[in-house]
Amino acid sequence: MATLGLIEYKDASPEVRAVFDDIMATRKIDWINNFWKALASDPATLRRTWESVKQIMAPGALDPLTKEIIYVAVSTTNQCTYCIASHTAAARKAGMTEAQFAELMAVVGMANETNRLASGYQVEIDERFKA
């Protein structure tokens, strides 16, 4: 069970409901996932985290699908079970195909491999990369 429990919409304070409402409106959905219900025990963190996520994940120089793909790459590298599940779902909702998922996994796997080869062989940074 979540450490401080999950706060459902019907039991939420007006302050928490306002954030829940904004999450549902922004994402055009009618439910709240457990991550936000867990954070709702700390309304300040709930609001700050949501405001940051909303700002960062909005379309910009990178499109929303690319941003979700980056999120899955980080969550997979960190082996965060919850985050892999929730952001893989989000990436699919944003249009990720099975072929794109498979390539994403291939790149994430390879990068984790070469990261260790570079460190383990104690490779020095090329001057050209320091500019």
- Interface of this chain with a second copy, residues 39 to 58, rule: CB under 8 A: 39, 41-42, 44-45, 48-49, 52-53, 55-57
Residues 6+ apart with CB under 8 A from 45: 39
Confirm if 69 and 91 have CB atoms less than 8 A apart.
yes
Shortest separation between residue 5's beta carbon and a second copy, angstroms: 10
| Cα(131)–Cα(79) distance, integer angstroms | 33
User: Exposed, middle or buried: residue 92 (CB in 10 Å: 0-12, 13-18, 19+)?
Assistant: middle
What Rg do the C-alpha atoms of the chain give, in angstroms?
Answer: 18
Q: How many residues bind a second copy (CB under 8 A)?
A: 81
Shortest separation between residue 70's beta carbon and a second copy, angstroms: 5
Q: State the DSSP code for 42.
A: S
**Site for a second copy (CB under 8 A): which residue of 8, 13, 21, 118?**
118
- Which 1-40 residues touch a second copy, going by CB under 8 A? 1-4, 31, 33-35, 38-39
Per CB under 8 A, which region of 10-18, 20-28, 116-124 contacts a second copy?
A: 116-124
Q: Is 98 in the site for a second copy (CB under 8 A)?
A: yes
